[in-house]
């Protein structure tokens, strides 16, 4: 009898939908960008700033805007290239859906998830 009640409780708890907040989306997006190649290569920690969190049309979906400066121009890991040091500001727009990053675009031209340009 007790196992039946436990099973029902687990089933009910599992069916309750998770609520995702703007604060959680902000943390997920910030963690993602801090581990992404463009920022890890030469992002300057003191410049990292979440500037905006906007709810999107779907429940639990947000676009998080993050600004940071890197020490060299370009995107991704650039160790294979000869680079001239130049402070370069970046704006990342990260789409978070139900706690997962589904898109990360930097400066409207670089897909950070696919590590490729979105401009042809």
Tens-level pLDDT at each residue, the chain (120 residues):
566 765 565 555 555 567 899 999 999 999 999 999 999 999 999 999 999 999 999 999 999 999 999 999 999 988 777 778 899 999 999 999 999 999 999 999 999 999 999 988
pTM strictly above 0.75: yes
Domain spans in the chain, listed from the N-terminal domain onward: 19-117
Q: How far apart are CA 71 and CA 7, in angstroms?
A: 55
């Amino acid at each position: 009898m007790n196992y039946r009640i436990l099973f029902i409780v687990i089933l009910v708890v599992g069916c309750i939908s998770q609520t995702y907040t703007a604060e959680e989306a902000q943390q997920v997006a910030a963690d993602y960008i801090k581990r992404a190649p463009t920022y890890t290569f030469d992002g300057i920690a003191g410049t990292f700033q979440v500037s905006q969190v906007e709810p999107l049309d779907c429940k639990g979906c947000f676009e998080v805007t993050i600004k940071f400066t890197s020490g060299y121009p370009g995107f991704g890991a650039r160790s294979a290239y000869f680079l001239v040091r130049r402070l370069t500001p970046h704006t990342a727009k990260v789409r978070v859906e139900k706690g997962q990053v589904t898109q990360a675009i930097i400066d409207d031209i670089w897909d950070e998830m696919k590590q490729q340009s979105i401009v042809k």
